[in-house]
Structure 1
Amino acid sequence: AAGVKAIICTADGDTAHQADIAEKDYGGPLIKLIVNGEREGWRSFDEEYKLYSTHYERTADAPCGDDLMLMFFTSGTSGYPKIAAHSYKYALGHFHTAKYWHNVDPDGLHFTISDTGWAKAMWGKLYGQW
């Protein structure tokens, strides 16, 4: 049992419908948020987002640019996999990835096929695109 507590998905396609079907078998309480649309039994991410402050208070112990943020394993093609450590500055470089390589449109929809267990999920889905 994965212990799932919440799901966030797009209103595009049938993902929300499939989640509703799976929820019947799950049997536990589930928070459901839908993005870019509305659906009965789901909370609207777009509406909830508006309720939060745009001011973020930075605490004294907040991480800084050179602090360790992520560790990925290398592929192991030239020996055993090794850990590749990345600081918080790593993410900044991927704004260029999004703009110049992925050609992301600020008003468009970007789709990258990658599981979050792979480094590509970070530079192909999260950093520059968000």
Structure 2
Amino acid sequence: MRMGEFSRRTGVSQRLLRYYEEQGLLAPSRLPSGYREYSESDVATVRGIRMLLAAGLGTATIAELLPCLADDGNSLAPACSGMLPDLNRERERLDAAVADLLAAREALDDIIAATESTGVADEDACAAIGDAGRSRHD
């Protein structure tokens, strides 16, 4: 199937499909005209890529792991030995990122609680700070 139909079937934009190809995640065949031709197995490959991206893995890691995974239609299953260290490394990286996010949320909660308990002493000063912060992000 050609790219337009493949994009509709997978729900992935054509731009993103080209990116996957650039990253070595997807390798459609080429017609003599130069058009990409995708197979049914490419649908499963894109499903696997999307699952691994949703799990927080980067495209470089996915490129390493994808050949060692089989798609059973609902999930990915290991298809070769030796990938456990890579998966554990990625899990540790995700655990660290989650810990960092939880610490940031806790710090924000502390600031919110301190602001609520002390009240706002100078509404004009707080409004000026808020306006300055918004102008930096505009």
TM-score category by the smaller chain? under 0.3
TM-score normalised by length of structure 1: 0.22
Greater helix share, 1 or 2? 2
TM-score normalised by length of structure 2: 0.22
Mark the structure with the bigger radius of gyration. 2
Greater strand share, 1 or 2? 1
